[in-house]
A and B are shown apart, each in its own frame.
Chain A
């Protein structure tokens, strides 16, 4: 009797997994850097190209790193959320201008608003690779010790901000 029910049993298991699969996104690549120190960088600043900024300068603060570019369409969707967040003064937001051109980037910020304390320029995308960036926009929450605590792949929405990012930031700030 058992062996005739085995195929049915396997089917039930399979359908269960496939149903779960429908809720997942197979193209999303989670970051292995969560809980690891943020990779160091030493990059020129967008608005002051002769000056440079290093990761170490953010030590002691809980902060957000947002990867953006003027050619990125979905960045426009999330930008108002970032501008709003910057006005609340919760935490500094650093922009990583990814594979972009200086003039176009500055113009874009002028047009859509500048929520960033400052933006650093990653012209060839090398720092992006170190951070495991594969699509734009992506956002990282980094704690006072420079450890990456959260990564958002895709545009940051108000919901995700309120439900995930801000509570975590508050916990880290303590």
Chain B
């Protein structure tokens, strides 16, 4: 009964989406307030019914209803409760429902937090989002129904992939989808602006907090995925440049360009058509990601089971949505006024450079990800493009962006003062250079690349601190937006420190140990105490005891496991990690090699947690920036006059 209810709710949501994507547009075009007014309740109604469908599916999982095909394929009665519920989005169909749920959440948010926007604009924004919903819900209803029944019902399910039986599964997909889908808001804002021609600083001011919010969710989602892979997969890696990982990273890169470009459009009314294009591209990459993950054109551990019918559907939808928006862009963007002028050295030019660098970086990732497909389609054989390529190409592309980010916040709008800039950054540059040159020596080994990486990181942090100092000295008010920007930039610096140090100084050893034997690595001693058998809720494990000593003192007891899950009979290594601010000690259990001896892999990873710490700082920075008072203040004051005042006042004191 419940699955049918869920299915029915989805059909109603589809109907509402159809209404939401047509009538308000008509109302906005023909100026019929009655039709325009449909938008908000429609969005809220969609949220209700998609929410209901989601709850029905989640309930089916929670209550072990194995007459639902999806539940039988992805769950099991012995699965712990949290993972039974998380299994709701552990399949292609279920994760699509999660995607649409996130879309309806954003729709709800737009319908509620948009009182200061003109109604016809909201109508168009929600109309575009409704159109996207039509696409995804129909995709589900016609090709990927999560409520499909399995009759006769299975006795028990095939269980969730053991790799997914982890807290990461509870948080990573929802967070990631909030980000992915969140860019649909910026996209919808852009389309609405192209349609009604109201592409100005006000539009940018409205767009900004939504875009920043989506960006910060995506940052968190990607960071969570990376962290999860690190502690779960057992090989100590945290990024593989896998097609699915790249599919999430590309929107992030363009999203970063977008939030910077929006800043210029808001403050100076410039880059308008560029910002709109970026908003379209960011969401287009989200859609492209959806295609890549579910169509089977690329091989990935993250890819869902595929069906050519599904691939065709998504590709057509993709072509329609992106083709439509880019056509609209081609027609309307020409008529957009170009905005103010600015010097070669100016905040605008710095931010434009950022856009350009992010786009080139994104294009490089796209090229690497799709190149095997290009060659194969042209009959030129099969190649693989993996981490060696991406690492060689990406770092050099990012370096200039990070360098400029150190300077950017200090450059004035319209016309930068180069003498003043040199004066302000002189000491920062000297300190940063010395620190970058000497820090590697603290780790015992100097290498050029290590110093270079640290130079970039210290530089962006140094630049942020310098900008803060200047602001404090000038007694200017430190807004949320400004603090957010500094924090996010500092986060990048922290991230780069983590990456540089871990890549330069990580150590790894594969050893064969008998009980009582020790192995040393990085100044730590790892004593193997033996292996005992342990029963988990739905698995049996061989659990090793490892005592970690440094200078004779015990600092940690690690218990890596080798689990065999009962249902899928697959073996899985569960690493044990001792985390610290300056290093992670990472141990994973290998194979039993007779005489109570086991192979063990030991890693010492310096500063690896700074990678995710940096991402957290970036996300916090985004949160601060998005919650700046001026975005909320606009809700109370009549927006037209106040925004123009702000714009004039701001540009004269910058």
Give residues in A with beta carbon < 8 Å to B.
1, 4-5, 7-8, 11-12, 14-15, 17-22, 24, 26-30
How distant is the Cα of A24 from the Cα of B298 in the complex, in angstroms?
A: 10
List the B side residues contacting A7 at CB < 8 Å: 277, 280-281, 326, 329-330
Q: Given A17-B377, A26-B298, A27-B299 in contact, is the A4-B319 Cβ separation under 8 Å?
A: no
Give residues in B with beta carbon < 8 Å to A.
273, 277, 280-281, 284, 291, 295-299, 308, 311-312, 315, 318-319, 322-323, 326-327, 329-330, 333-334, 370, 372-374, 376-377, 381-382
Pick from B291, B334, B377: contact of A24, CB under 8 Å? B377
Measured between C-beta atoms, what is the minimum distance from A29 to chain B in Å?
A: 6
Pick from B280, B330, B372: contact of A26, CB under 8 Å? B372
B333 lies within 8 A of A22 (CB): no
Q: Given A4-B334, A11-B319, A22-B315 in contact, is the A17-B370 Cβ separation under 8 Å?
A: yes
How distant is the Cα of A18 from the Cα of B252 in the complex, in angstroms?
A: 22
B382 lies within 8 A of A18 (CB): no
Majority SS at the chain B contact face: helix
Majority SS at the chain A contact face: helix
The residue among B284, B299, B319, B334 with the most chain A CB atoms within 10 A of its own CB is B319
Q: Given A22-B308, A22-B311 in contact, is the A11-B326 Cβ separation under 8 Å?
A: yes
List the B side residues contacting A14 at CB < 8 Å: 370
29 contacts between A and B (CB under 8 A): A1-B334, A4-B330, A4-B334, A7-B329, A8-B326, A11-B326, A15-B323, A17-B370, A17-B373, A17-B374, A17-B377, A18-B297, A18-B373, A19-B315, A21-B373, A22-B297, A22-B311, A22-B312, A24-B373, A24-B376, A24-B377, A26-B296, A26-B299, A26-B372, A26-B373, A26-B376, A28-B382, A29-B382, A30-B382
How distant is the Cα of A109 from the Cα of B284 in the complex, in angstroms?
A: 54
Residue of B nearest to A29 (CB): B382
List the A side residues contacting B315 at CB < 8 Å: 15, 18-19, 22
List the B side residues contacting A11 at CB < 8 Å: 284, 319, 322-323, 326
B298 lies within 8 A of A8 (CB): no
How distant is the Cα of A11 from the Cα of B312 in the complex, in angstroms?
A: 16
How distant is the Cα of A133 from the Cα of B629 in the complex, in angstroms?
A: 64
Q: Given A8-B330, A15-B315, A20-B377 in contact, is the A26-B297 Cβ separation under 8 Å?
A: yes
The residue among B296, B318, B330 with the most chain A CB atoms within 10 A of its own CB is B330
Q: Given A15-B319, A18-B315 in contact, is the A4-B381 Cβ separation under 8 Å?
A: no
How distant is the Cα of A63 from the Cα of B330 in the complex, in angstroms?
A: 60
Measured between C-beta atoms, what is the minimum distance from B223 to chain A in Å?
A: 28
How distant is the Cα of A14 from the Cα of B287 in the complex, in angstroms?
A: 13
A21 lies within 8 A of B377 (CB): yes
Measured between C-beta atoms, what is the minimum distance from A109 to chain B in Å?
A: 29
How distant is the Cα of A4 from the Cα of B325 in the complex, in angstroms?
A: 12
List the A side residues contacting B291 at CB < 8 Å: 18
A4 lies within 8 A of B297 (CB): no
The residue among B280, B299, B373 with the most chain A CB atoms within 10 A of its own CB is B373
Measured between C-beta atoms, what is the minimum distance from B334 to chain A in Å?
A: 6
How distant is the Cα of A15 from the Cα of B333 in the complex, in angstroms?
A: 23
List the A side residues contacting B297 at CB < 8 Å: 18, 21-22, 24, 26
How distant is the Cα of A22 from the Cα of B298 in the complex, in angstroms?
A: 9
How distant is the Cα of A29 from the Cα of B308 in the complex, in angstroms?
A: 20
How distant is the Cα of A5 from the Cα of B382 in the complex, in angstroms?
A: 32
How distant is the Cα of A143 from the Cα of B281 in the complex, in angstroms?
A: 53
How distant is the Cα of A157 from the Cα of B330 in the complex, in angstroms?
A: 50
Residue of B nearest to A24 (CB): B376
How distant is the Cα of A26 from the Cα of B370 in the complex, in angstroms?
A: 11
Measured between C-beta atoms, what is the minimum distance from A33 to chain B in Å?
A: 13
List the B side residues contacting A26 at CB < 8 Å: 296-299, 372-373, 376, 382
List the A side residues contacting B284 at CB < 8 Å: 11
How distant is the Cα of A117 from the Cα of B323 in the complex, in angstroms?
A: 59
Measured between C-beta atoms, what is the minimum distance from B359 to chain A in Å?
A: 11
List the A side residues contacting B374 at CB < 8 Å: 17
Residue of A nearest to B308 (CB): A22
Measured between C-beta atoms, what is the minimum distance from B34 to chain A in Å?
A: 35
A4 lies within 8 A of B329 (CB): yes
List the B side residues contacting A4 at CB < 8 Å: 273, 329-330, 333-334
List the B side residues contacting A15 at CB < 8 Å: 315, 318-319, 323
